[in-house]
Structure 1
Amino acid sequence: MDILIRAGVDDVARTAADIIGSYVKDGAVIGLATGSTPLATYRELIARQEAGALDFSGCTAFCLDEYLGLPPEHVQSYHHTIRTEFTSHINIADRNVHSPDAMDPRPWEAAQRYEQAIADAGGIDVQLLGVGTNGHIGFNEPASALNALTRVETLHPQTVVDNARFFDSPDEVPTHAITQGLGTILRSGHALLLATGAGKADAVAKMVEGPLSASCPASVLQLHRHATIIVDEAAAAGLKDAEYYRHMDAARPEWMGVDGRPRA
């Protein structure tokens, strides 16, 4: 994994936008995450398009997950959220922004169709991720199979508590979701995970330096062929080898971009 430590939230967002932007210029298939952490990155990407530096018209997007039972127009559905926070502000065609069908009465079949749709699009070139306080990515909760594909998952009680701030009460938080599986995420060309704030420090340390374990689903990124983890100083506080990661970043060869790919 490439571990990039930045001073604060805005610095994390700029570096993430640099990486995503390098794929956008190639007309990429982009995996999008919701939640609080990616918002600064989305604002940065929007600003870059408005400045004429990016063009999303050739891109396709797939959302990482969706609450089961929430219709697309529900204000807390991820279908609605990703459009409100990001895709309605850029020049990507709405028909090219995909999310799981959380209203299908046979949700396991909807999950299988979504997995196939990603494959039919050629796979995800760069997948944006966050990490939960219990180590989940997407809605892959602790004990998730490390090679699982898109499926229905039961939300961990901690996830319900963490996400209750977006609803009027914890009782309104759905208890299930359709999520890309850890195996689906491993199939992406580049996994880009962002974490900010002291509340994520323990999960980041377990993900990066702990054992590969289903008890910390994000640790599966240790197996990813191209994973970049961008954290701020607060989220990096538990990393024992933080100075080495800073050295690796500073010693990056001139021919290598921040996305880890050779510069054109």
Structure 2
Amino acid sequence: MEVRVTTSVAAFHDEAASFVSERVRQSPSAVLALPTGSSPVGMYRELVRRVRDGVLDLSRTVCFNLDEYLGLGPDHPQSYAQYMQHHLFGHVRVGRHHIPDGLAADPDAEARRYEERIVEAGGFDLAILGLGPNGHIGFNEPGSPPDSRTRVVELSPATRRANSRFFGSVELVPRRAITVGIGTILEAREILLLAIGQGKERVLRAALEGPVTAQVPASFLQRHPRVTVLVTPDLARRAGIGQRVSL
């Protein structure tokens, strides 16, 4: 696991976009797992800029979103389908993109179908992850087993409180979601973890150096042979992480 502490928040977004861009240049038809939330917003902005500047082509990439809220359709302003449209897919052309159906009549069947599509695509070449305040990756909440596959999950109270800022009230945050499982994520050929935001210093240290435990889902990344962790300088300082280390 390589940990890279960037020189600024702007550099964090730029380095994340550079990492993804380089992998796509190496393999234009790469299969990517894409995150949502606050962490990747700057990365998506930089990727859009690079496509518009003609230095990056995403027209052959295959994109799978990591998760979607149950009960929200693709036109709902807080759905992750709408998020991706706003931040990436509405601005650039990608080869194919897949997002779980939040309005599926049978959510468990939808989760199985989504997992099958990932397998049919050959798995992820690169899984890009955000780090949740409670250590979740995707919507794999504390207690998620390391061999889990795409499935329906109950969102923890902590996650619903953290995401209530997007909905205006915790009561409006959906209680369930479909998420790609930890086992599926760990089969990615390479993983990029984005560590940015407030209140994540304890869970970042636990993910990088603590015991591998289901109580900190991100700690399972220690078992993967090719993980790069990007950390903003303020978070690194609070967590006591050096400038550039390998763990």
Q: Verify same fold: TM over 0.5.
A: yes
1:95-139 deviation digits (Å, cap 9, x = unpaired): x11011221121111101101101111111111110111111110
Partner of 2:231: 231
In the alignment, is the contact (CA less than 8 A) between 2:5 and 2:231 conserved in 1? yes
Unaligned regions of 5+ residues in structure 2, if any?
Answer: none
1:141 aligns to what?
Answer: 141
Moved more, 4-13 or 145-154: 4-13
1:66 counterpart letter in structure 2: E
1:50 equivalent among 31, 49, 52: 52
> Structure 1 residues 247 and 155 mapped into 2: Cα distance closer, same or farther (>3 Å)?
closer
Partner Cα distance (2:92, 2:139) in 1? 26
Summarize deviations over 1:21-47 as a string: whole Å, max 9, x none.
Answer: 012222211111110110000111111
8 Å contact from structure 1 (residues 111, 151) kept in 2 = yes
**What is the CA distance between 1:239 and its match in structure 2?**
4.4
**Alpha carbons of 1:143 and 1:247: their partners in 2 closer, same or farther (altered >3 Å)?**
closer
Q: Show the counterpart of 1:64.
A: 66
Alpha-carbon separation, structure 1, partners of 2:184 and 2:8 = 30
Aligned to 2:97: 97
Match of 1:81 in 2: 83
d(CA) in 2 for partners of 1:177 and 1:247?
Answer: 35
- Residue type of the alignment partner of 1:80: Q
Change in Cα spacing, 1:108 to 1:229, as seen in structure 2 (3 Å) is same
2:192 aligns to what? 192
CA RMSD of aligned residues (A): 1.5
TM-score by length of 1: 0.89
Matched, 1:169 2:173: no
Distance (Å, rounded) in 2 between the aligned partners of 1:60 and 1:248: 30
Instruction: Give the length in aligned residue pairs.
Output: 245
Q: Deviations over 1:163-218 (max 9, x none)?
A: 00110311110000000000011011111111113422111111001110000001
- Secondary structure at the aligned position of 2:94 is classed as coil
Give the CA deviation at 1:7.
2.2
Shift of 1:247: 5.5
Give the secondary structure class of the aligned counterpart of 1:199.
coil
User: Match of 1:257?
Assistant: none
Quick one: distance in 1 between partners of 2:188 and 2:218? 14
Counterpart-to-counterpart distance in 1, 2:176 and 2:234:
31
- Match in the other structure for 1:107: 107
Q: Deviations over 1:51-101 (max 9, x none)?
A: 1110111111000000011111111111111111112111215xx110112
1:1-33 residue CA offsets vs partner (Å, 9 max, x unmatched): 110111222111111111100122222111111
Task: Give the CA deviation at 1:225.
Answer: 2.0
- Whether the 8 Å CA contact 2:148–2:182 is kept in 1: the answer is yes
The match for 1:123 is 123
CA contact (8 A) 1:34 1:78 kept: yes
Q: Runs of at least 4 residues of structure 1 off by over 6 A?
A: none
Q: Percent identity?
A: 42
| Residue 247 to residue 125, structure 1, CA distance change in 2 (3 Å) | closer
Give the Cα separation in 2 of the matches to 1:179 and 1:126.
17
Q: Kindly provide the amino acid, as one letter, of the partner of residue 208 in structure 1.
A: L
- C-alpha displacement of 1:158: 0.4
How many angstroms apart in 2 are the aligned matches of 1:234 and 1:216? 22
Deviation at residue 248 of structure 1 after TM alignment: 5.4
Provide the rounded CA distance (Å) in 2 between the counterparts of 1:237 and 1:115: 38
